[in-house]
Structure 1
Amino acid sequence: MIRLYTDALNVGYDGHLIVKNLSIEIPDKQITTIIGPNGCGKSTLLKAITRIISHDSGAVVLDGKNISKENTKWLAKKMAILPQTPESAGGLTVGELVSYGRFPYQKGFGRLTKKDVEVIDWALEVTGISDFKYRPVDELSGGQRQRVWIAMALAQETEMIFLDEPTTYLDMAHQLEVLELLQKLNQEQERTIIMVLHDLNQAARFADYMIALKEGNIVKAGNCEEVITHRVLKSVFQIDAEIGRDPRTNKPMCITYNLLKGEHKNEETLDPSRTVVHAVH
């Protein structure tokens, strides 16, 4: 089922087009990961879909409605986004920042209801930061602050959550905790998760659907088997990758790679056998 899609979307800055004539469908109730080199338009795409920035032409359609014509509260009940570099939360405690996720549901003077408090406490608990509720956000480490922002997105209780590199600043264990939490939200609550990830193997491990971008265009979109291939990674990242199997998930993974140089960058004929090699043990 497709509830969210873009139609010939063009997005740019200062006359420079970043996302180019992009038409893409986001599978509902699945995890979609977006991969691509720096500057290819990943973050721009997320911001345009969630209306943080406007688009030059085309449309973003959710539940049959052009989101550019809908009011902010309607959209905020449908989508939450964790940007790559969240704004400063100077002077706020953890609990206060997470409470901002309840904005779409507040009326009148914006006082928190019993339901609001319950949702805030739940978001703090599932992200492992309940003990920090009354601490200033500025006093936390980078990894702890990242979990606070994720808790705020969860407190928004949207059907769709967009995250731009949510594992930034986190060590390996906390990266896995965050990604497993998002997977749990997807599986148990049927949240649609769309996230940008730099780590190709994490992107493949947790994704139902993947989108590979380069220079504002889609190189390949599909399941992990279709995207994590020698050919696609060569085209997107200019690397000569060896693709194997994750022994725990059986999903494709990039074992190792070399940078492509000279004429090899532009070769079009590739040996299909390079797509699947021996599994990692």
Structure 2
Amino acid sequence: MERLYTEQLQVGYGERPIVQDLTITIPDKQVTTIIGSNGCGKSTLLKAMTRIIPHQEGSIVLDGQLIAKENTKALARKMAILPQTPESTPGLTVGELVSYGRFPYQKGFGRLTKKDIEMINWALEVTHTESFRHHPVDALSGGQRQRVWIAMALAQETEMIFLDEPTTYLDMAHQLEVLELLEKLNKEQGTTIVMVLHDLNQAARFANHIIALKDGQLIKSGSCEEVITHDVLAKVFQIDAVIGQDPRTNKPMCITYNLLKGAAKHDQKAIPLHGVRSVSS
């Protein structure tokens, strides 16, 4: 059974539609990346699917139930979301922030149970953030802070984690650190990961499934090989892309590109780049 999907979804702000007539499925226990140009509705879709914002038309279904009618705490036990620029209270420690992930399970005065403490310790351990448990979050580096926020999501003990541009403002090493952590969580814990990424090669490298949007509508969804193609990228980004193959992962990668407007059409069948093999468009 498909756990999470949308049907003819429409989301907007006021009278301005952002996501229009969108029908997609999120594969369970896989890594899905959402790609598209700025303003195409990627973040809006993420927020709607996690019920941060309401949708106007259509439906979002999780485990056979409309999420619009799901109990808030019950929903928070199934999915966690990390926004694009999460912020914490100044002076809040890492341990305190991660403990907030246990909110959906707390009752009464909200005291931490033995299970809560076990989950917090596990989340700190798996994200390698235990060593700065007592450090203020705002004193950490960008990569460390991102791992701490992921730890909070893990402490929430959900089977799905949604992340809106988790590599924004991070250098190349810290980007890989965060993406490899998410990949590890997916492979070892079976966590369903859904994230918005701007870097096409990172999207292809770490995803099992890609959703490409333009102007709030679905252009293509499927495997990396089905989505990272010359024709799809031309429709989504208006670029004339040269697609090759990553020599380490064998997945498609965008080697170079020109703006499609006024750009000459190039032969995509042969790309002599240090043995990198071309993927035909």
Aligning the two structures, in what range does the TM-score lie when normalised by the shorter sequence? over 0.9
Deviation at 1:88, TM superposition (A): 3.4
User: Amino acid of the residue matched to residue 196 of structure 2?
Assistant: V
Deviation at 1:63, TM superposition (A): 0.6
Give CA deviations for 1:178-234 in whole Å, capped at 9, x if unaligned.
Answer: 111111111121111111111111100111110001110011101011100000111
Residues 277/223 of structure 1: CA separation in 2 closer, same or farther (3 Å cut): farther
State the TM-score, normalizing by the size of structure 1.
0.93
Report what 1:208 is aligned to: 208
Report what 1:168 is aligned to: 168
Q: Gapped runs of 5+ residues in structure 1?
A: none
The number of aligned residues is 275
Report what 1:79 is aligned to: 79
Q: What secondary structure, in the 3-state scheme, does the structure 1 residue paired with 2:268 have?
A: helix
Deviation at 1:252, TM superposition (A): 0.4
The answer as to whether partners of 2:101 and 2:156 remain within 8 angstroms in 1 is yes
After TM superposition, the runs of 4+ consecutive aligned structure 1 residues lying more than 6 A away are none
Residues 132/276 of structure 1: CA separation in 2 closer, same or farther (3 Å cut): farther
Residues 94/131 of structure 1: CA separation in 2 closer, same or farther (3 Å cut): same
Deviation at 1:19, TM superposition (A): 0.3
Q: Percent identity?
A: 75
Residues 223/277 of structure 1: CA separation in 2 closer, same or farther (3 Å cut): farther
Report what 1:61 is aligned to: 61
Deviation at 1:276, TM superposition (A): 7.3
Report what 1:274 is aligned to: 268
Matched, 1:32 2:32: yes
Matches within 5 A, 1:225-244: 225-244=225-244
Tell me which moved more, 3-12 or 109-118. Answer: 109-118
Report what 2:181 is aligned to: 181
Q: Gapped runs of 5+ residues in structure 2?
A: none
State the TM-score, normalizing by the size of structure 2.
0.93
The answer as to whether partners of 2:31 and 2:209 remain within 8 angstroms in 1 is yes
Report what 2:10 is aligned to: 10
Report what 1:195 is aligned to: 195
The answer as to whether partners of 2:239 and 2:260 remain within 8 angstroms in 1 is yes
> For 1:277 and 1:122, how far apart are their aligned partners in 2?
46
> For 1:14 and 1:221, how far apart are their aligned partners in 2?
28
Tell me which moved more, 105-114 or 133-142. Answer: 133-142
Give CA deviations for 1:218-267 in whole Å, capped at 9, x if unaligned.
Answer: 111010111000001111111111100001110000011111224x69xx
Residues 133/100 of structure 1: CA separation in 2 closer, same or farther (3 Å cut): same
Tell me which moved more, 194-203 or 87-96. Answer: 87-96
The answer as to whether partners of 1:143 and 1:169 remain within 8 angstroms in 2 is no
> For 1:105 and 1:275, how far apart are their aligned partners in 2?
55
> For 1:30 and 1:143, how far apart are their aligned partners in 2?
23
> For 2:82 and 2:139, how far apart are their aligned partners in 1?
20
Residues 123/276 of structure 1: CA separation in 2 closer, same or farther (3 Å cut): farther
Tell me which moved more, 100-109 or 224-233. Answer: 100-109
Report what 1:102 is aligned to: 102
User: Amino acid of the residue matched to residue 197 of structure 1?
Assistant: L
Q: What secondary structure, in the 3-state scheme, does the structure 2 residue paired with 1:274 have?
A: coil
> For 1:15 and 1:196, how far apart are their aligned partners in 2?
25
Tell me which moved more, 219-228 or 185-194. Answer: 185-194
CA RMSD of aligned residues (A): 1.8
User: Amino acid of the residue matched to residue 129 of structure 1?
Assistant: T
The answer as to whether partners of 2:88 and 2:137 remain within 8 angstroms in 1 is no
> For 1:148 and 1:64, how far apart are their aligned partners in 2?
32
Q: What secondary structure, in the 3-state scheme, does the structure 2 residue paired with 1:28 have?
A: coil
> For 2:172 and 2:127, how far apart are their aligned partners in 1?
16
